[in-house]
Chains A and B, each alone.
Chain A
């Protein structure tokens, strides 16, 4: 191993470069602005994560994608389509970005990085949950720029969701939150995993397929967008009730 050996003097070489001004000390403002940008980036990443986690919680509550899984294989496609993948990915990106920036602070190794990750994730999840609880999404939805984030699909080629406005034998008419009227046909094979005593005014989700303008139900379940939607929040719903046209 390195046994001692010749003494090397680097000071002359280094000072020569400094004196010739080949190397200069970076101005203090460079480091101050770097530090400020780092803080802004960290706070920004955390705020983005918290907001998008709140959006994920809101969308899970509002669209209930997991409820589609009760319909077995018929519910898989609606589940994947209704699940808020993009907000979840953005939130994860924010968390990863935040952790990356946090690594530049001494706390990241002094306190143990794993503990920091766990702490940060708990903080973001609980703050996101709290934001959803205090109704931030209702306010955010009113901003034109944020509105696209709240647009959801209540009607697709393999599912439909809405409020019952009329029932007759094996037929039902529902109106989706966007105000579109849909005729549903059920038969003996239709899965009714959450009961079959449907009433007008109830909200349901239906999986199946379209035959012309009629939706043939392979499964019907109670539930859907929450009851607490107030008048005018979704086009087509008035006084928390949808128009009866059956």
Chain B
């Protein structure tokens, strides 16, 4: 058992494919919580997030022979969860808004030069408070970068977009977060 823990994801996939399918549970255990968090950040419903991740793991298992072990398993499974979550959101458009708060995008337009510098801790704090109000196209890369600690390259593989676009979305997303955060601060101050 100890040996299995030492194996990397891709080696484990190879074993599941060719030797012992029960080892798949190790892969599930390694990623289930991270993936539920990721889905949860996108849809804000823990039970639904768990369902989506479960469904994604089953899909991944069925298509395990289609996974290229030269690539990262983590990016592959995140991508499946991302797609499943987006499909869920599309199916339930009325309940979950895809582009809530268009005003944020409008607000930061033309203010690209106003460079805001944040440290990771600040961004994480803002994300926890304001992520819900961020449009989903910025929510995904920000979550993956700051909360799941993925590299730009990995995010590019998960979201299937160029690395440059990942960087742009993260920067714009951060600025939007700041706008939302300030607005919230103002509202809280007014309430006091």
Residue ranges of A at the interface with B (Cβ–Cβ < 8 Å):
1-3, 5, 7-15, 17-19, 23-28, 30-31, 34, 106, 108-112
Contact = CB atoms under 8 A, between A and B. Distances in A.
Contacts of B32: 8-11
B44 to A, nearest CB: 8
B21 A11 contact: no
Contact of A26 (B40, B62, B128, B164): B62
Contacts of B57: 10, 14
Interface stretch (B22-30, B83-91, B97-105, B110-118): B22-30
B131 A1 contact: yes
A197 to B, nearest CB: 60
B64 A23 contact: no
Contacts of A1: 41, 127-129, 131-132
Nearest to A5: B46
Interface residues of B, number: 38
A23 B25 contact: no
Interface of B: 17, 21-22, 24-25, 28-29, 32-33, 36-37, 40-41, 44, 46, 50, 53-54, 57-58, 61-66, 127-129, 131-132, 156-157, 160-164
> Which of A7, A11, A23 is the most central at the interface, judged by chain B CB atoms within 10 Å of its CB?
A11
B67 to A, nearest CB: 9
A24 B62 CA distance: 6
A112 B128 contact: no
B36 A18 contact: no
Q: Do most interface residues of chain B lie in helix, strand or loop, or is the interface mixed?
A: helix
B50 A109 contact: no
Contacts of A111: 162
Contacts of A5: 46
A28 B68 CA distance: 11
B132 A109 contact: no
Contact of A15 (B24, B132, B163, B164): B24
B162 A112 contact: yes
A15 B28 contact: yes
B168 to A, nearest CB: 12
8 A-B pairs with the lowest CB-CB distances in the bound complex, closest first: A31-B66, A11-B28, A1-B128, A11-B25, A2-B40, A109-B160, A28-B65, A15-B25
B130 to A, nearest CB: 8
A45 B103 CA distance: 42
30 contacts: A1-B41, A1-B127, A1-B132, A2-B40, A2-B44, A2-B46, A3-B128, A5-B46, A7-B33, A8-B32, A8-B33, A8-B36, A8-B46, A9-B32, A10-B28, A10-B53, A10-B57, A11-B25, A14-B57, A14-B61, A15-B24, A18-B21, A24-B62, A25-B21, A31-B66, A109-B156, A109-B160, A110-B156, A110-B162, A111-B162
Nearest to A113: B162
Contacts of A23: 58, 61-62
B25 A26 contact: no
B20 to A, nearest CB: 11
B109 to A, nearest CB: 22
B22 A15 contact: yes
A109 B61 contact: no
Nearest to B164: A112
